[in-house]
Chain A
Amino acid sequence: MIIIGENIHVIAKDVSQAIRERNEKVIQALAREQTQAGAHYIDLNVGPMKKDTEETMKWLVNCVQEVTDLPLSIDTMNPVAMEAGLKYCKKRPLLNSASGKTDSKQQMLPLAQKYNCDVVISVMTDKGMPPEIESKIESIMDTVAYANELGIPNEDIWVDPIILPVSTAGEGQRIAVGNLEFIKILPDVLPGVKSTVGLSNVSNGVPAHLRPILNRTYLVMLERNGLYSAIADPLDEELMAFMRGEHQEIKNLIYKVMDGEEVDLSSLSQKEVAYVKTARVLMAQTLYSDAWLEI
């Protein structure tokens, strides 16, 4: 599993402040920690970046490249910031992201071709998020065909089905199950494409101390269904251990839940029980509540 380290993210106050003040230390510490933790890419989520775009992107990209040899994922919706970022990357970067929206097709996708980089393409369209797996597939096939015409091969495309919070009014659980299915059938629909997800979004809105177990469990499930990469927190040691193939006994329990098998909780450790309960929530076998581990 390719892990794209998510921790340089403008929503984090210290990151946005560091970028504003050109504080290399903060940014470089995050880049270094994620590199040491085993990330494969460093994501630079800079938001819309409307001010001093060119200047800031140049500074940020170079600042990170000084301390890591990892390739970068330039994460912005602003095509000007995107191009500014891609331009300074030493290694072949990841354009994160394009979508089926008209603006994105016209402004983002040509950049992937121009800079010969990998590109994340989400299932979003002008109409928003396609509600069902079928419509997601339909949307992504259209956008990938469009990208192919521009000369971007399937092998350079990382499809993102868009992960949504599992905690929202019941719908979130249905979508979590749908995305597992989407990842499973993707290679049949679009041979050669890769896949990625914004993993942590699955636990958005959940109390902070409960987020990691949801993220880890969901990544184990997605991995089993063939997910190629995830934008995630490489500083979560247990998450990285799972991805290195450790904790196979817990993985097997999660797989059992995915297969709808009965799991006898009485013979399990507290930690194993927690993973089984979390898997049940992510498979929508039981209604989500913040108290899911307490039942």
Chain B
Amino acid sequence: MEYKAPIEAYKGIVREVTIGKGDKVLKIGGENILPLHFFDEGSMPNPPKFALEVLDMEPTEKIPHLLEPFGEAVSDPIQWAKKCETFGVDAICLTLLSTDPAEKDSPADQAAQLVKRMVSEIKKPLIVYGSGDEKKDAEVLPKVAQICAGENLLIGPVQKENFEVVGKAILENGHVAIAQSPLDINLLKELNVKLCKFLPPERVVIDPLSSALGYGIEYSFSLIERVKQIGIITKDSMTMMPIIANLGGECWKTKQAKENKTQGLLWEGITALSLYLSGANLLILRHPETLKLVKETIGGNGRWPS
């Protein structure tokens, strides 16, 4: 008897989200198949995208093999970002680390000015992460949203403690929100429900928190997998958003990545590849050589090389 492989068709579709404007536009999401189920009925119009992360301050911890590719540029965020653009990125991610009260507690205005300058100087769409301090972010991120009104930046993290103020600023100034919740699918859905009461769901990207290899990656992997399944299989509107995996910073915090270059690249690379397999739509890395490694592994069109 001839074997016929079963082909599934799904009800749900991940919303296509557009970031940036004019000639610097990035589309993520839009797939109506489970991650890598290219054999099923449906398509993945936008293969996963990659960004490199720059900080708004010179890194206090100097990991030579991480900073080496950028040379002098790490002392100036704009130069650092421009350097990143030479490595074939789809977007730049700027983390406003200096605003963290535990770092320099630098003022919101200063951070917003930097973002504005960066938007005008780089050629790629911009992702902006606050420090993660929910109180400070509630000051910093609305400022960023206002000063860059109309630029359609991807801004976060929007958390349950500050979603109203940050979410409203994102809505009113025409940006996209990164909704972040602590590795829990029920909390993730709750935040999306609350956010989408005033923000169109096409303006939301999910950040489920990305843990590094050896530091809880299993949780991130199964959570992303589950978000995709619930969105695509059961058509749960509140999980049908693209997923951002902000993993570079997490990986380079690990002892293993710091130890030596090969280990560092593999640590970040395997983390990225795993989260890509689980369904991440946009991945943020730190090291340009990891970016190259992961892209080569995946293949040119976002598919596994056949």
Chain A positions within 8 Å of B, measured between CB atoms, are: 167-170, 285-291, 294-295
Binding site for A on B (CB under 8 A): 184-190, 193-194, 197, 226, 230, 234, 236-239
Tell whether, in the assembled complex, residue A290 and residue B190 are in contact, meaning their CB atoms are under 8 Å apart.
Answer: yes
Whether B193 contacts A286 by the Cβ 8 Å rule is no
Q: Closest residue to B235 on the A side, CB-wise?
A: A286
Q: A167-B186, A169-B185, A170-B226 are in contact. Are A291 and B193 (CB under 8 A)?
A: yes
* Residues of chain B within 8 A of A290, CB atoms compared: 186-187, 190
Q: Are A287 and B193 in contact (CB under 8 A)?
A: no
Among A170, A287, A294, max chain B CB count under 10 A is at A287
Are B189's CB and A291's CB within 8 A?
yes
Residues of B within 8 A of A168 (CB): 186
Query: Which A residues are in CB contact (< 8 Å) with B238?
Result: 287, 289, 295
Which residues of the other chain, B, contact A295 by a CB distance below 8 angstroms? 193, 237-238
B197 lies within 8 A of A289 (CB): no
**Are A287 and B239 within 8 A (Cβ)?**
yes
Q: Which residues of B are found within 8 Å of A294, using beta-carbon distances?
A: 193-194, 197
Summarize B's interface: helix, strand, loop or mixed. helix
State the CA gap A295–B226 with chains docked (Å).
20
Given the complex, which residues of A lie within 8 Å of B186, measured CB to CB?
A: 167-170, 287-290
Contact: A291 with B185, CB < 8 Å? no
Look across to chain B and name the residue whose beta carbon is closest to the beta carbon of A170: B185
CA distance A288 to B193 in the complex (A): 11
Q: Which residues of B contact A287 (CB under 8 A)?
A: 185-186, 189, 230, 234, 236, 238-239
Rounded to whole angstroms, the CA-CA distance of A289 and B185 in the bound complex is 8
B236 nearest CB across to chain A (Å):
5
Q: Within the assembled complex, what's the spacing in Å between the Cα atoms of A287 and B186?
A: 7
Can you identify 9 A-B contacts, CB atoms within 8 angstroms?
A: A167-B186, A169-B185, A170-B185, A170-B186, A287-B185, A287-B234, A289-B189, A289-B238, A290-B186
Could you tell me the distance in whole angstroms from the C-beta of A177 to the nearest C-beta in chain B?
A: 14
B184 / chain A contacts, CB cutoff of 8 Å: 169
A173, chain B: closest CB distance, angstroms: 9
Closest 3 pairs (CB-CB, A-B): A289-B190, A289-B189, A291-B193
Rounded to whole angstroms, the CA-CA distance of A169 and B182 in the bound complex is 12
Which residues of B are found within 8 Å of A170, using beta-carbon distances? 185-186, 226
Complex formed: what's the CA distance from A168 to B185 in Å? 9
Within 8 Å CB of A167, what residues of B?
186
| Shortest Cβ distance from residue B154 to the other chain A in the assembled complex, whole angstroms | 23
Query: Which residue of B is nearest A172, CB measured?
Result: B186
Pick from B194, B226, B237: contact of A291, CB under 8 Å: B194
Q: Are A289 and B226 in contact (CB under 8 A)?
A: no
A139 to B261, CA, bound (A): 53
CB-defined contacts of B230 to chain A, threshold 8 Å: 287
Cα-based distance from A289 to B227 in the complex (angstroms):
13
A289 touches B193 (CB 8 A): yes
* B-chain residues with CB within 8 Å of residue A285 when the two chains form the complex: 234
Quote the shortest CB–CB distance from B260 to chain A (angstroms).
Answer: 37
Additional 15 contacts, C-beta under 8 A, given A287-B234, A287-B238, A291-B189 = A168-B186, A170-B186, A285-B234, A287-B186, A287-B230, A287-B239, A289-B187, A289-B190, A289-B193, A290-B186, A290-B190, A291-B194, A294-B193, A295-B193, A295-B238
